[in-house]
Structure 1
Amino acid sequence: MNSVRNGWVPALLLGALLLATAAPARAQAERPLPRRMGPGPRARPEEVRRAVQEVVIARMREALHLTEEQEAKVVPRFTELMQTRTDHAMKRRAAMARLRLLLLDGTAGDQEIARALREVRAIDEDYLHREGELRGAIDGSLTPRQQGRLVFFEGRIRRVVQRRMQEAMGAGPRRGLMAPGRRPQPPDDGFDLQEDEP
């Protein structure tokens, strides 16, 4: 029974991820010329993300054996934690892109660079503070055994989602989300370590 129940969740995750990646690719292949996307296609990734979150929440409930009282406290906070992570990743990517552009711009002054660097650090500090608050609230509603299970659950679910995304994109199991040959490589900016450097 448990193996049957465990089989449907990964299949659902894979299906949702396939929908998210296949629909935009199919739509692009049918269009002869690129054009602006309407509001319809933009909504689909949000729906997929919501579906994946629902699956993650359902799996968490099961893995932690939450009581109804715990569920009422933990699920909203865990959902907020997942949203906080998503928001942080988007903000950080944008701030890092601004910083990178300034570093590549030979005319950018030290004050501009320092301001962009402070922005990146402030985004990270805000996230760590909010994550700490949410984790404290979640842990306060769980037993030590459940807290331990949550640590392993989060690591496992992260690996499962990454693997499903790799499979959905046609890449084999590799480190990172996409095969290196398929990922657009940024121009060499001299900021990253070379392979043979420590």
Structure 2
Amino acid sequence: MREILIARRAAGALIGLLAFAMVGAAQSPGGRPAGPRAGPRQASARAEEVRQAMEQMVIARMKVALHLTSDQEAKVIPRVQELLEARRDHAARRRDAMARVRNLLLDETAGDQEIGRALRDLRALEDDFRGREEGLREAIDRSLTPRQQARMVFFEARLRRVMQRRIQEALGGGRRVTPGPEVEERPDGLDAPEDEP
């Protein structure tokens, strides 16, 4: 049970990585939006295209990694899409709540009550999201066999490693993200192929 909870929390971190990667992919190496004069709308449209493409890639790889049947796909994929949407929505709301707390901390005239209220709102937002995420994950798990649930744990861990590596490469930091020995990928059939160059 503890391993499942840890895996689910790690999966929550995955959406943050996906969002960061999407922003990075929508920008050129110089950190500017792609294109000669890409305005905010063009950059936003490009980021949305990248997000959708990445989401479809994740879903396609998940289908392969979990060996989903047609019936399972009809149940699981909409829930996964709903979970991804919930994570995007939560990330935007959390950014706003964090900005509110940060602004209050920077405002010397803000009182402790106002800061406390903003902090409670932030924590309530986190609690609400965890409950919603847990409900969606349980709905997904109900449509999967125990073997597929275990495959999902490995799929999410591998996807997280791939995303971290790509983010690190996009930031110009080379291949390694964390110190320590390289983890060798096992050919045990638990992961979908990466299809990386």
User: So what's the TM-score if we normalise by structure 2?
Assistant: 0.71
Q: C-alpha separation between the residues in 2 aligned to 1:43 and 1:160?
A: 25
Structure-2 change in CA distance of 1:29 and 1:146 (3 Å): closer
Tell me by how many angstroms 1:29 deviates.
9.3
Q: C-alpha separation between the residues in 2 aligned to 1:77 and 1:47?
A: 21
Structure-2 change in CA distance of 1:28 and 1:152 (3 Å): closer
Amino acid at match of 2:165: R
Residue 105 (structure 1) aligned with residue 111 (structure 2): no
Q: Which deviations, in whole Å up to 9, do the C-alpha atoms of 1:63-116 show, x marking residues without a partner?
A: 000000000000111111122122212211221121122123221012211221
Residue 96 (structure 1) aligned with residue 98 (structure 2): yes
Deviates more, 1:129-138 or 1:87-96: 87-96
Runs of 4+ in 1 over 6 A off after TM superposition: none
What secondary structure sits across from 1:43 in the alignment?
Answer: helix
Q: C-alpha separation between the residues in 1 aligned to 2:63 and 2:57?
A: 10
Tell me by how many angstroms 1:37 deviates.
2.5
Q: C-alpha separation between the residues in 2 aligned to 1:27 and 1:134?
A: 34
What fraction of aligned residue pairs are identical, expressed as a percent? 57
Map of 1:77 onto structure 2: 79
Q: C-alpha separation between the residues in 2 aligned to 1:152 and 1:93?
A: 29
User: So what's the TM-score if we normalise by structure 1?
Assistant: 0.70
Q: C-alpha separation between the residues in 2 aligned to 1:146 and 1:169?
A: 34
Q: Which deviations, in whole Å up to 9, do the C-alpha atoms of 1:126-156 show, x marking residues without a partner?
A: 1111101100110000001111111121121
Q: C-alpha separation between the residues in 1 aligned to 2:34 and 2:49?
A: 19
Deviates more, 1:163-172 or 1:75-84: 163-172
Structure-2 change in CA distance of 1:29 and 1:149 (3 Å): closer
Q: C-alpha separation between the residues in 1 aligned to 2:123 and 2:31?
A: 35
Amino acid at match of 2:76: V
Mapping 1:48-59, distance limit 5 Å: 48-59=50-61
Q: Is the 8 A contact 2:83 2:136 kept in 1?
A: yes
Q: Is the 8 A contact 1:92 1:123 kept in 2?
A: yes
Partner residue of 1:87 out of 86, 89, 107: 89
Unaligned runs of 5+ in 2: 1-17, 179-197
Q: C-alpha separation between the residues in 2 aligned to 1:29 and 1:135?
A: 39
Q: C-alpha separation between the residues in 2 aligned to 1:30 and 1:20?
A: 13
Mapping 1:114-193, distance limit 5 Å: 114-172=116-174, 173-175=176-178
Q: C-alpha separation between the residues in 2 aligned to 1:67 and 1:82?
A: 21
Q: C-alpha separation between the residues in 2 aligned to 1:18 and 1:103?
A: 29
Map of 1:3 onto structure 2: none
Amino acid at match of 2:81: T
Residue 40 (structure 1) aligned with residue 42 (structure 2): yes
Tell me by how many angstroms 1:50 deviates.
0.5
Q: C-alpha separation between the residues in 2 aligned to 1:91 and 1:108?
A: 22
Q: C-alpha separation between the residues in 2 aligned to 1:128 and 1:111?
A: 26
Map of 1:20 onto structure 2: 26
May I ask how many residue pairs the two structures share in their alignment? Answer: 157
